[in-house]
């Protein structure tokens, strides 16, 4: 199967933003464009979405907010690192004894 060069023009700002998004997804822009063409042909349309969560909406941030909420509800939100480590050591000791 032979390959052809496909070229088109894009605004510099849009191209740079597209490159940044692709890098965050672990691919480069030419790879993304090949994926688009391949899937477009396979599905006879645009069948997929590749989006990054907004930083404030990432799973890690939601988990941290939830952990903070639970800590506040249980009155342990202001524990020091030494207190946290002592709690962990105690829990491990109880876990290995039982």
Q: In the numeric block, which tokens belong to residue 12? A: 């510099």
Domain boundaries, the chain: 1-52, 55-97
Residue 57 pLDDT: 63
For the chain, give the number of residues: 98
Write the pLDDT tens digit of every residue in 15-25. 999 999 999 99
pLDDT of residue 64: 82
Q: Which two tokens stand for residue 11?
A: 């605004």
All residues at 6 or more sequence positions from 37 whose CB lies less than 8 Å from its CB, including other chains: 6
- pLDDT value of residue 20: 94
Q: Note down pLDDT in tens along the chain; length 98 residues.
A: 788 998 989 999 999 999 999 999 999 999 999 988 998 898 888 777 767 766 656 777 788 888 888 888 888 888 888 888 888 899 899 987 76
Selection from 11, 49, 10, 9 nearest residue 32 by Cα:
49
Tokens 């032979």 correspond to 2
End-to-end CA distance of the chain: 64
């Amino acid at each position: 199967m032979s390959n052809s060069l496909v070229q088109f023009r894009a605004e510099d700002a849009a191209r740079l933003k597209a490159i940044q998004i692709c890098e965050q997804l672990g691919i480069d822009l030419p790879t993304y464009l090949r994926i688009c063409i391949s899937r477009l042909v396979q599905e006879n349309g645009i069948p997929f979405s590749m989006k990054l969560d907004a930083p404030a909406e990432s799973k890690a941030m939601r988990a941290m907010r939830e952990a903070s909420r639970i800590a506040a509800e249980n009155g342990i939100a202001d524990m020091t690192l030494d207190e946290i480590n002592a709690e962990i050591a105690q829990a491990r000791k109880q876990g290995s004894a039982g």
